[in-house]
């Protein structure tokens, strides 16, 4: 049976000044399918979906939706047609309950007031229809991240959506939560809802989508069949060259010298944990939110108070009360949210890179800043990390996500770290930039730097980590050498109950 087209993009182009974001794009998207849209940061994905949704208007070309030319319609008019854009950061109101979020702007009224009883009754029916078993009175902030994203999608569908654009919906989700979310998406797809999926995770693209379109430098490689594609083939088309995944050396010999050790550490969500990080070692920290994995890292960087226990760096006991103390000892931290904690978007690139060394390398005895040195350090970082930019004087907001992440790395590497804590360092960036960053980290550890690596992508973790430490309820429940491990083994170990310090 021939599939029915719901969206046709015909010769669509869009330029921003001298930059050609889209060049004669032609794509057909079929009803009831999941259509993946992939490409490097800056390839034109956001421009294309914004043109579809009506956030921006294309310079040339036509957009046909359900047989109707919607090229000149406004954002609101396209929403009325059934097009919904669900952004990367779930647009929920955390302090409202589930029903209030679903009915946001559409609250049922009685005598001029919100009919709360009717709203919750209707919300329950909507939730049952879409298969989400949470209480309608529950505050959104209390839901799991995956259920928050489901509420976001349900709200789009409840408002009349039949064509939903999902922009990086699995950011920060665990492997199981990703599978859970995509089961939900595929269930809605089987009922006739059409999805565009934007994702940098090629494994999930191949697993969940029916068709795939690649954007590269404003050009389009449309309607490839997921079933006939492979990870390597897709990665090569995205990058325009062969992309080799970075792996730890199988014969790597880790030094016996200890870089950092903590004993009987107590902190926020951390209960008497102890481990050692050797020089040149990459150790993966794994655990659910609140398990202690991330909290140990933020405590070591001085973002949370260490209540008791000892921390030694290269055999010398140290005291960390704030981030400045950690930096002094060579402990640096790459946060998981670069926009909130990693960059100052309105500041120039070179000043962002210099932020971490204002009081050290860049200041003389009179505390006068050397802008010349700041520029030299930024220029070197640009070359070393292959940061693609027009000028280091440009604001960091002008860069793609992958290059912004490289600026965050450049900032911490300017401190010459002995221990680098990396919290989701490749989140939301394209495959080429991801492998460049992983390769950089691998190279730094080969020179003696140690690293703690946190990520929900266990495939990525196991490609780079020498050892994996697993946390649960504030305790270390497993400490395993990365020999023949796979993601399923990590999940099994992570989910063990009432275990302490299981060494393999």
CB 187 within 8 A of CB 218: no
Residue of 225, 139, 144 whose CA lies nearest to 178: 144
- The C-alpha atoms of residue 240 and residue 39 are separated, in whole angstroms, by 10
* Max CA distance (Å), the chain: 78
pLDDT at residue 464, rounded to an integer: 94
Which pLDDT score, from 0 to 100, does residue 90 have? 54
Residues 438 and 499 in one domain: yes
Over residues 79-102, the pLDDT tens digits come to 999 999 887 655 678 889 999 988
Whose tokens are 């004993």? That residue is 263
In a domain? residue 468: yes
* 247 domain residue, yes or no: no
Mean pLDDT of 153-167: 88
**Can you tell me the mean pLDDT for 321-345?**
88
With CA atoms as reference, report the closest residue to 447 among 413, 412, 489: 413
State the average pLDDT over residues 176-200: 90
**What CA–CA distance (Å, rounded) separates 438 from 402?**
12
Please check the confidence at residue 206 and state whether its pLDDT lies above 80.
Answer: yes
- 217 and 272 fall within a common domain: no
H helices of 251-355, in order, are: 293-300, 323-328, 349-354
In a domain, 130, yes or no: yes
Of 379, 383, 377, 385, the residue nearest 403 (C-alpha)? 385
Contact 204, 171 (CB under 8 A): no
**340/297 same-domain check:** yes
CB burial string 394-411: b at 16+ within 10 A, e below:
eebeebbbbbbbbbbbbb
For range 44-52, the mean pLDDT: 91
Q: Do residues 299 and 262 make contact, with C-beta atoms less than 8 angstroms apart?
A: no
The yes-or-no verdict on residue 401 having pLDDT over 70 is yes
Same domain, 276 and 386: yes
Return the pLDDT at 307: 95
- Per-residue pLDDT, averaged over 426-434, amounts to 83
Domain of residue 305 covers 258-503
How many structural domains compose the chain? 2
Structure tokens at 331: 């402990």
For 258-312, the pLDDT digits (tens) are: 999 999 999 999 999 999 999 999 999 999 888 999 999 999 999 999 999 999 9
**205 lies in a domain?**
yes
Rounded to 10 degrees, the C-alpha dihedral 364/366/369/372 comes to -50
Of the three residues 207, 239, 271, the one that is the final residue of a domain is 239
Predicted pLDDT at 498: 47
Better pLDDT: 172 or 445? 445
- Considering the domain architecture, whether residues 282 and 429 belong to the same structural domain is answered as yes
Which of 73-77, 82-86, 122-126, 166-170 is least confident? 166-170
Element (H, E) at 184: helix 175-190
User: How far apart (Å, rounded) are the C-alpha atoms in residues 165 and 419?
Assistant: 40
Q: Residue 1: what pLDDT?
A: 57
Q: What pLDDT does residue 243 have?
A: 79
| Segment 412-426, tens digit of pLDDT | 888 899 999 999 998
* CA atoms lying within 13 Å on the CB side of residue 166: 32
Together in a domain, 402 and 464: yes
CA distances from 416 to 330, 342, 361, 393 (A): 7, 17, 11, 23
* Residue 251 belongs to a domain: no
Q: Which of 206, 171, 212 is nearest to 86 (CA)?
A: 171
pTM: 0.75
Please check whether residue 24 lies inside any domain of the structure: yes
What is the pLDDT at residue 503?
46
DSSP secondary structure string for all residues of 350-365? HHHHHGGGTTTTSB-T
Say if 428 falls within a structural domain.
yes
Rounded to an integer, the average pLDDT of 158-183 is: 85
CATH of the domain at 474: 3.40.50.300
My answer on whether 221 and 294 are in the same domain is no
Q: What is the pLDDT of residue 286?
A: 95
Same domain, 201 and 311: no
Rounded to the nearest 5°, which phi and psi values hold at 90?
Answer: -50, 120
The percentage of the chain sitting over the pLDDT mark of 90, rounded to a whole number, equals 47
β-sheet bridge partners, residue 260: 277, 313
SS3 35: strand
- Tell me the torsion sign for CA atoms 150, 156, 159, 162: negative
Number of C-alpha atoms within 13 angstroms, CB side, residue 457?
A: 20
Contacts of 289 (CB under 8 A, 6+ apart): none
Mean per-residue pLDDT, 346-365: 83
Per-residue pLDDT, averaged over 417-436, amounts to: 88
Query: Do residues 223 and 331 share a domain?
Result: no
Mean pLDDT, the chain, whole residue set? 88
Same domain, 282 and 224: no
* Owner of token pair 């919750």: 120
* Structural tokens at position 472: 């649960």
* Axis crossing angle, helix 401-413 with helix 371-384, rounded to the nearest 10: 120
Q: Which of 239, 274, 291 is the last residue of a domain?
A: 239
Count of other CB atoms within 10 angstroms of residue 344: 12
- pLDDT tens-place string over residues 234-247: 888 888 777 788 99
DSSP conformational letter for 141? G
The predicted model gives 190-196 an average pLDDT of 93
Report if residue 458 sits inside a domain: yes
Mean per-residue pLDDT, 368-394: 87
pLDDT of residue 359: 78
Residues counted in the chain:
504
Per-residue pLDDT tens digits for 8-25? 999 999 998 888 889 999
The reply to whether 299 and 429 lie within a common domain is: yes
Give the pLDDT band of residue 69 (cuts 50, 70, 90): very high
What is the number of H-type helices and E-type strands within the chain?
Answer: 16, 23
Q: 11 with 62: CB under 8 angstroms?
A: yes
Contacts of 123 (CB under 8 A, 6+ apart): 98, 99, 102, 103, 136
DSSP code string of 451-488: EEEE-S-HHHHHHH-SEEEEEETTEEEEEEE-SS--HH
Pick from 251, 250, 245, 253: which is nearest to 280 by CA? Answer: 253
Owner of token pair 């990365």: 482
Rounded-to-integer distance, Cα 303 and Cα 187, Å: 42
- Burial class from Cβ neighbours inside 10 Å (0-12, 13-18, 19+) for residue 465 reads buried
One domain, residues 270 and 334 = yes
């Amino acid at each position: 049976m021939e599939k029915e087209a719901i969206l046709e993009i015909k010769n669509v182009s869009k330029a921003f000044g001298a930059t050609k974001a889209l060049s004669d794009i032609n794509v057909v998207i079929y009803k009831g399918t999941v259509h993946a849209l992939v490409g490097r940061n800056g390839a034109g994905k956001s421009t294309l979906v914004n043109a579809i949704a009506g956030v921006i208007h294309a310079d040339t070309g036509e957009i046909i939706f359900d047989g109707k030319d919607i090229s000149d319609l406004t954002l609101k008019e396209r929403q009325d047609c059934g097009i919904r854009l669900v952004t990367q950061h779930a647009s929920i109101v955390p302090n409202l309950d589930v029903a209030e979020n679903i009915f946001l702007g559409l609250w049922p009224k009685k005598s001029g007031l919100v009919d709360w009883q009717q709203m919750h009754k209707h919300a329950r029916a909507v939730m049952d229809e879409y298969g989400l078993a949470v209480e309608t009175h529950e505050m959104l902030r209390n839901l799991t991240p995956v259920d928050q994203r489901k509420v976001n999608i349900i709200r789009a569908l409840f408002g009349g959506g039949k064509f939903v654009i999902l922009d990086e919906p699995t950011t920060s989700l665990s492997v199981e939560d990703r599978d859970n979310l995509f089961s939900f998406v595929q269930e809605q797809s089987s009922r006739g809802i059409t999805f565009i999926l934007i994702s940098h995770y090629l494994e999930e693209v191949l697993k969940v989508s029916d068709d795939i379109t690649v954007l590269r430098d404003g050009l389009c490689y449309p309607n490839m069949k997921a079933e006939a594609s492979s990870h390597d083939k897709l990665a090569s088309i995205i990058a325009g060259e062969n992309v080799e995944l970075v792996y730890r050396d199988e014969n790597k010999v880790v030094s016996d010298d200890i870089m950092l050790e903590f004993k009987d550490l107590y902190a926020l969500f951390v209960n008497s944990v102890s481990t050692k990080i050797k020089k040149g070692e990459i150790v993966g920290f794994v655990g659910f939110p609140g398990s202690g994995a991330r909290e140990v890292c933020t405590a070591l960087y001085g973002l949370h108070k260490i209540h008791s226990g000892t921390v030694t760096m290269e055999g010398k006991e140290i005291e960390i009360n704030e981030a400045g103390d950690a930096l002094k000892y060579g402990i640096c931290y790459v946060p998981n949210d670069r926009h909130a904690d990693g960059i100052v978007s309105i500041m120039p690139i070179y000043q962002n890179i210099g932020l971490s060394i204002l009081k050290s390398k860049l200041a003389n005895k009179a505390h006068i800043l050397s802008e010349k040195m700041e520029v030299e350090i930024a220029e070197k970082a640009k070359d070393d990390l292959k940061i693609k930019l027009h000028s280091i004087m440009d604001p960091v907001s002008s860069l793609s996500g992958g290059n912004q992440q490289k600026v965050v790395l450049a900032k911490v590497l300017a401190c010459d770290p002995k221990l680098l804590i990396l919290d989701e360092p490749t989140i939301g960036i394209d495959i080429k930039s991801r492998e460049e960053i992983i390769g950089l980290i691998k190279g730094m550890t080969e020179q003696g730097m140690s690293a703690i690596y946190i990520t929900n992508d266990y495939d990525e973790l196991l490609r780079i980590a020498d050892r994996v430490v697993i946390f649960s309820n504030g305790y270390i429940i497993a400490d395993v050498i990365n020999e023949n491990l796979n993601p399923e083994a990590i999940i099994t170990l992570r989910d063990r109950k009432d275990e302490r310090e299981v060494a393999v």
